């Protein structure tokens, strides 16, 4: 918790699935200040607190808004770029760590095809609509969020949170005249070993058929 920027709104307290966060009066800058505090014995490191924080003041290590946001850029062409057709549907995949069950899944996520970028998060519940709109504004043509199957989230309701947020975002995209198919959510259950590449390739095909995002047209 960055006590200095915490505004003690209490959203993280309400969102934490493990009741690991409380608002406490702490000493800061020579005086008392009310701020979120985490009980490390209860925290399960899902990162859901970070997804609701209004001031980017709470996060788990390695998954701050700032560090994740740096990853939400379009994949870059390497020394031997694939044909232009592969770059027509630049796709960002944000995948819950728990969804990559087998060696082929992990291999694909580590070395995705050109035009595809995979970013891992501890749980789909860590994903905010702002992550996705940031990626779209930075040249990504489509975003796929992959979470654990309903009923299998390792942090109680993280995938349900992701579902609600993405539906709301898709409705917003409708209003903006941007195809809602550019933002997709998919589940991979514990029995779906090895299905990650097939799932991503399908969505990449969808995004390619849409082409670049036409902002304001
Ligand atoms: Fe995978 Fe929550 S742990 S979606």
- Give per-residue pLDDT as tens, 94-153: 999 999 989 999 999 999 999 999 999 999 999 999 999 999 999 999 999 999 999 999
Report pTM: 0.92
Which pLDDT does position 217 carry in this prediction? Answer: 54
- Give the separation between CA 7 and CA 10, rounded to whole angstroms: 8
Average the pLDDT over 58-64 and give the result. Answer: 94
CA of 18 to the centre of ligand 1 (A): 15
* Sheet arrangement for strand 91-96: 116-121, 91-96, 142-148, 183-188
- Phi, psi (degrees; rounded to nearest 5) at 145: -105, 125
What angle (nearest 5°) sits at the alpha carbon of residue 58, between those of residues 53 and 60?
125
- Cβ-Cβ contacts under 8 Å for 10 (sequence gap 6 or more): 23, 36
- Give the separation between CA 17 and CA 155, rounded to whole angstroms: 7
Q: How confident is the model at residue 76 (pLDDT cuts 50, 70, 90)?
A: confident
CA of 187 to the centre of ligand 1 (A): 9
Identify the DSSP state of 38: E
Cβ(96) to ligand 1 under 6 A? Answer: yes
């Amino acid at each position: 918790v960055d006590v200095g920027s915490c505004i003690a709104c209490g959203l993280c307290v309400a969102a934490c699935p493990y009741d690991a966060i409380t608002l406490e009066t702490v000493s800061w800058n020579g005086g008392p200040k009310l701020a979120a505090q985490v009980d490390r014995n209860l925290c399960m490191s899902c990162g859901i607190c970070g997804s609701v924080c209004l001031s980017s003041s709470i996060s788990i290590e390695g998954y701050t808004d700032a560090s994740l946001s740096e990853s939400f850029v379009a994949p870059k062409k390497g020394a031997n770029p694939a044909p232009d057709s592969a770059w027509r549907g630049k796709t960002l995949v944000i995948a819950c760590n728990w969804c990559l069950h087998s060696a082929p899944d992990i291999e694909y996520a580590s070395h995705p095809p050109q035009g595809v970028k995979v970013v891992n998060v501890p749980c789909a519940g860590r994903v905010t609509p702002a992550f996705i709109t940031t990626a779209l504004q930075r040249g990504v043509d489509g975003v796929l969020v992959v979470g654990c199957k309903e009923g299998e989230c390792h942090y109680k309701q993280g995938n349900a949170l992701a579902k609600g947020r993405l539906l709301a975002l898709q409705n917003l995209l409708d209003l903006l005249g941007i195809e809602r198919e550019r933002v997709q959510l998919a589940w991979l259950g514990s029995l779906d070993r090895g299905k990650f590449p097939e799932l991503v390739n399908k969505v990449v095909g969808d995004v390619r058929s849409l082409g670049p995002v036409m902002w304001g047209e």
